[in-house]
Amino acid sequence: MAQVQNLVLVLGDQLTPTLTSLAASDPARDRVLMAELHDEANYVRHHKKKIAFLFSAMRHFAEELRGAGWTVDYVTLDAPGHRGSFTAQLAAAVAEHRPERIVVTEAGEWRVAEMMKGWGERLALPVDILPDDRFLTTPSAFREWATGRKQLRMEYFYRDMRRRTGLLMEGDQPVGGRWNFDAENRKPADVDLFMPRPRAYAHDAITKDVLSLVAARFGNHFGDLEPFRYAVTRADAEAAFAAFVKEALPRFGDFQDAMLQGEPFLYHSVVAQYLNCGLLDPLRVCRQVEEAWRNGTVPLNAAEGFIRQIIGWREYVRGIYWLKMPGYERSNFFGHDRALPDFYWTAETDMACVRAAVTQTKEEAYAHHIQRLMITGNFALLAGIDPHELHEWYLMVYADAYEWVELPNTVGMSQFADGGLLASKPYAASGAYINRMSNYCAACRYDVKQRTGPNACPFNALYWDFMARHRDRVGRNPRMAQMVRSYDNFPADERARIAESAATFLASL
Ligand SMILES: Cc1cc2nc3c(=O)[nH]c(=O)nc-3n(C[C@H](O)[C@H](O)[C@H](O)COP(=O)(O)OP(=O)(O)OC[C@H]3O[C@@H](n4cnc5c(N)ncnc54)[C@H](O)[C@@H]3O)c2cc1C
Ligand code: SF4
C-alpha cells in the first residue's frame, strides 16, 4: 500500500460522511482513526446511556465509512492498543503509519480545540484543522454579528438566520406575517393515552458489545444503562425523526412548555443527541419540517417553534460559547456557592416536580427543555447553587450534552450567571408557574398555594427570598423590578416568614 498521506482523526461528535476532514482526503490513499477514549468518557463522569450511545454510534459510523471504501483504524476502549487520550492515540498512529499530515475537523469544545493546537509541535507533523460546516453559521460570523450590538438577543439573530436560509419566508417576509409564534406555544397538556413515544431500536451485535463494555467499565457512573432504545445509525436516526414529524410535531408547538407526570417526552423530538453527534443534519431536518407545514400536516406555530430552536437557539448558543470562551464557564453573576444537593443524583426529594425531572434524567438521560430550565435549573437558581457545579451536572447527565451547547444554556439562560448576556431576565419562577404548566403539584407533599411554613411549596419562599437577596441586581432589570416591588409591598412579618422558611429549607438540603 502507498504511504498514508493524511491521517484523518474523526471525533465522536463528527459522525457525518460529508465531514470537511473526510472531504479533504482520499479513501484510496488516506487512513481514518477513531478511538473510544478513557479520558473523554471520564473528564466528567458521563451518564452510562450517553457513553453507550456514542460508542455504538461511533462503531456503526466506522462500519459506514468502511462500506464507503475507507480504511478505518477503530480503537475500542478495551483494545490492547488503547492509549486513553487523543494525543497519545495519535502519537501511536503516527509512529505506525508515518503519515505526511494529520487532518481533522475543528473540535466543538474549547478544551479539545486547545489540545489540537499543540499536536503539530508534539507530533512533529503538519496538522490541518478544517472548519466544521455542519453548522449554519461560523464562530467568526457570529462575532461579526455581535460586534457593536448593545444586546445580543436571540430573536434578531434568528430573523437573520431565517432570511439567510429562506426557511418559512415569503420573499423577505416571514410566512404568516410574524417571526415568532411562541405566545401560542404555552398550553398545559392533558394526560393522553395515545401520547406518541420516540421510536425504540433493537440491539444489534455492536450495541450488545457496547452495552456489556459500558456495564463493566462505567458501572459507577450516574444513570440507568437499560432499557437502551436509541437509534445508533444514520438511517435509524432519520427514521426516528420522520416518525416525530408525523406523530408528535403537529402538537409540538402547543405543548412545548408543558410537563406531565410519567410523560418524559411529551411532543418533543428527542433528537438533540443525533444532531449533536452528526447523525442528523440541522438544515435538512428544518427543511423536512417546513415541507410538512407546506403540505398542511403541521400547523405553523409547531413548524416555526421547532425551526426556531434549531436555526435560532442552537446556532445562537454556539456563537455565544465561542465568543466568550475561555472564562465563560466560571461566570457567577450572583456569587452563588451552595453545593449541588444530593437529590440531583438520587431523586430522593419530596418535591414532586424535581423528583420527576431527576428520575427521568436517571432513566432516560433525557429531560425536555422546560424541565431543565424551569425545574432543575430554576431550583438551582433560587437555592443559590454554584453555577459551575450545576454546569458539570448538566454536562454529565444528558445524552445530548456537549459543552458548546450545554454551557450557555446552563450558565447563561438558566442561571443568569453571565449577568444577562444571553437572557433578558433570570428564569426564576415560583410554584405557581410549575402548577400552571404541569400536573406535578397535585401529587406533591407540599402545598403550592402556601408561601411559607413547613408544608409550603419550597419554590415559593425561595422565589421571594431570591428577590430579596438579589434586589440590587434583579431590581435594575425592567422585567423583574415589578416582582421586587411586590416583595416590598408584603407586610414586614410576611417578609420575615419568607426569610425564615427559605433559610429553614436551605439548611435542610
Ligand atoms: C440548563 C439547560 C441545559 C441544556 N443542555 C443542553 C445540552 O447539553 N445539549 C443540547 O442539545 N441542548 C441542551 N439544552 C437545550 C434543550 O433543553 C435541549 O436541546 C432539548 O431539551 C433536547 O430535547 P429534544 O431533542 O427533545 O428537543 P426539542 O424540544 O424537540 O427541540 C428540538 C431541537 O431544538 C434544539 N434546541 C432546543 N432548545 C435549544 C436550546 N435552548 N439550545 C440549543 N438547542 C436547542 C435541539 O437541537 C433540539 O433537539 C439545555 C437547556 C437547558 C435549559
Ligand atoms: S408543590 Fe412545589 S415542589 Fe411540589 S410539585 Fe408543585 S412546584 Fe414542585
- Series of mean pLDDT values for 10-residue runs along the chain (509 residues): 86 98 97 96 95 98 98 96 92 96 98 97 97 97 95 95 97 96 87 88 98 97 98 98 97 94 96 98 98 97 97 98 98 98 98 98 98 98 98 98 98 97 96 97 97 98 97 88 95 98 97
Q: Are 104 and 113 contacting, i.e. CB atoms less than 8 angstroms apart?
A: no
Whether 209 is in a domain gets the answer no
Q: Are 203 and 209 contacting, i.e. CB atoms less than 8 angstroms apart?
A: no
Instruction: Report the nearest-CA residue for atom 8 of ligand 2.
Output: 353
Supply the CATH number for residue 259's domain.
Answer: 1.25.40.80
Supply the CATH number for residue 502's domain.
Answer: 1.10.579.10
Ligand 2 atom nearest to CA at 445: 4
Q: Are residues 39 and 145 in the same domain?
A: no
Whether 223 is in a domain gets the answer no
Instruction: Report the nearest-CA residue for atom 3 of ligand 2.
Output: 351
Last residue of a domain, one of 293, 324, 355: 324
Whether 240 is in a domain gets the answer no
Q: Are residues 449 and 369 in the same domain?
A: yes
417 Cβ below 6 A of ligand 1: no
Q: Are residues 176 and 289 in the same domain?
A: yes
Q: Are residues 42 and 101 in the same domain?
A: yes
Residue 1's pLDDT is 52
How much distance in Å is there from the Cα of 400 to the middle of ligand 1? 8
How much distance in Å is there from the Cα of 370 to the middle of ligand 2? 15
Whether 338 is in a domain gets the answer no
- How far is Cα 184 from Cα 297, in angstroms, rounded to an integer? 18
Last residue of a domain, one of 113, 130, 147: 130
Range of the domain at 311: 139-196+248-324
47 Cβ below 6 A of ligand 1: no
How much distance in Å is there from the Cα of 367 to the middle of ligand 1? 9
Q: Are residues 270 and 369 in the same domain?
A: no
Q: Are residues 144 and 111 in the same domain?
A: no
CA dihedral 257, 263, 266, 268 (to 10 degrees): 90
Instruction: Report the nearest-CA residue for atom 7 of ligand 2.
Output: 431
In the structure, which protein residues have their CB atom closer than 6 angstroms to any atom of ligand 2? 351-353, 431, 434-435, 440-441, 444, 446, 448, 457-459
Whether 213 is in a domain gets the answer no
How much distance in Å is there from the Cα of 457 to the middle of ligand 2? 5
22 Cβ below 6 A of ligand 1: no
User: Beta-strand (E) ranges in 154-215?
Assistant: 169-170, 173-174
Instruction: Report the nearest-CA residue for atom 2 of ligand 2.
Output: 457
Provide the pairing of β-strand 169-170 with 6-9. unpaired
Q: Are residues 285 and 424 in the same domain?
A: no
SS3 447: strand
Closest residue by Cα to residue 104 from 131, 81, 66, 65: 131
Q: Are 505 and 455 contacting, i.e. CB atoms less than 8 angstroms apart?
A: no
Instruction: Report the nearest-CA residue for atom 44 of ligand 1.
Output: 314
All three cell numbers of 152, joined, read 445580543
Q: Are residues 275 and 159 in the same domain?
A: yes
Q: Are residues 458 and 347 in the same domain?
A: yes
Instruction: Report the nearest-CA residue for atom 16 of ligand 1.
Output: 369
Q: Are residues 470 and 360 in the same domain?
A: yes
Whether 172 is in a domain gets the answer yes
Q: Are residues 439 and 467 in the same domain?
A: yes
Residue 476's pLDDT is 86
Last residue of a domain, one of 324, 356, 376: 324
Total domains present in the chain: 3
Q: Are residues 309 and 347 in the same domain?
A: no
Supply the CATH number for residue 33's domain.
Answer: 3.40.50.620
320 Cβ below 6 A of ligand 1: no
